[in-house]
Structure 1
Amino acid sequence: MSKAFTKETDTDGDDDGGESTAPALPSGSKNYMTPAGYARLRDELLQLMDEERPKVVEAVHWAAKNGDRSENGDYLYGKKRLREIDRRIRFLTKRLEIAEVTDPSVHHGSDQVFFGATVRYVDETGDERSVTILGIDEADSAQSQVSWISPIARALLKSREGDVVKLVTPGGAHEVELLSVSYPAPGASAAR
């Protein structure tokens, strides 16, 4: 049968079929996010919907007019890109709908660890590290940011400066000592 008479689906081509590579939220938990993280995801969603998707739709429409779609690279690539954009739009929409925006600056001056804290700690070997506890969708390990569901964040949450907490990892249990806890100043979290 000619390819012209087969039905195209959202899973045709090299598409992986998954929503996203972001980790799933633990069952029954909230999708905590800072105001800056929420704004970044919302901006990405609006950019995809208002700018990128219309451009790709226009390119696919133009390519479809050029004849045989089975050998039309512009058409095939455009349809694949359109599926990627639509999948990302669905993912962002779902995550933003369930987002629980939490401003960490309300804890400014506190020595207890809550969501949004930047924590400096030392482990058993004397290595000093600093991490900022953020939401699943906004944490970037390259910038020393960890998700609030990560083992280190779970160990640190609700503890105070000077506390020694047990960090359970696949490599075994370790103790870490909190050296300092800080939060952005009120009004500064939006500039992050």
Structure 2
Amino acid sequence: MADRVNHITPEGYRRLREEYEQLFGVERPQLVETISWAAGNGDRSENGDYIYGRKRLREIDRRIDWLSRRMAAAKVTDPAQQTDRNRVWFGATLTLADDDDNRRVVTLVGEDEADASAGRISWHAPLARAVRGAALGDVRRVALPAGEKEYEIVAIVYPDPAE
């Protein structure tokens, strides 16, 4: 995973940045203040505010560290700037049809912004790897946990550059 480019959409990067700023600029300072107050109350071994505060502070610091590393490694790629709009590349929203003509709409996004329930799948997911570079009407076979399945690309859409 370390050798792969961490593509991310501008929107996905914005969400990571907002979470980082919320944790670093708001939650962490408030928590440090609470821990400091709790530490001044005496016996720390039975002080719930102090014990919980320290635990939560470690969680926040781990998340801040993870977010900062992911943002540093991110390559912001705007799908609206895609020049080859006739093929499936990063950021494409595509409609797939299986053998029974069941349709599925997915958007290929970065690992940090994937949410299968919202139709956003990782650029590195098996389905995404199978359809990369495909054109309208191409049929691609993908190995899924439930077995192999064939999908036909019936629509490819990219965001409008004006947005």
Within a 5 Å distance, the mapping from 1:166-177 to structure 2 comes to: 166-177=141-152
State the Cα distance separating 1:27 from its structure 2 match.
Answer: 3.9
State the Cα distance separating 1:86 from its structure 2 match.
Answer: 0.1
State the Cα distance separating 1:173 from its structure 2 match.
Answer: 1.8
1:127 equivalent to 2:127? Answer no
Q: After superposition, what is the alpha-carbon deviation per residue over 1:105-141, rounded to whole angstroms, capped at 9, x for unaligned?
A: 0127812100000010111232110000000001112
1:185 equivalent to 2:160? Answer yes
Within a 5 Å distance, the mapping from 1:10-159 to structure 2 comes to: 26-107=1-82, 110-159=85-134
State the Cα distance separating 1:43 from its structure 2 match.
Answer: 1.4
Aligned residues: 163
- Specify every segment of 5 or more residues in structure 1 that has no aligned partner in the other structure, as ranges: 1-25
Q: Give TM-score scaled by structure 2 length.
A: 0.95
State the Cα distance separating 1:28 from its structure 2 match.
Answer: 1.0
Q: After superposition, what is the alpha-carbon deviation per residue over 1:5-30, rounded to whole angstroms, capped at 9, x for unaligned?
A: xxxxxxxxxxxxxxxxxxxxx24111
Report the equivalent of 1:15. none
**1:95 partner amino acid:** R
Q: After superposition, what is the alpha-carbon deviation per residue over 1:61-111, rounded to whole angstroms, capped at 9, x for unaligned?
A: 000111111111111111111011000000000000000110000127812
My pick for the range that moved more, 130-139 or 169-178, is 169-178
Secondary structure, aligned partner of 1:66: coil
Provide the rounded CA distance (Å) in 2 between the counterparts of 1:95 and 1:183. Answer: 25
State the Cα distance separating 1:34 from its structure 2 match.
Answer: 0.5
CA RMSD of aligned residues (A): 1.3
Provide the rounded CA distance (Å) in 2 between the counterparts of 1:87 and 1:27. Answer: 19
Question: Could you tell me whether the CA contact under 8 Å between 1:48 and 1:89 is conserved in 2?
Answer: yes
Secondary structure, aligned partner of 2:113: coil
Provide the rounded CA distance (Å) in 2 between the counterparts of 1:128 and 1:36. Answer: 26
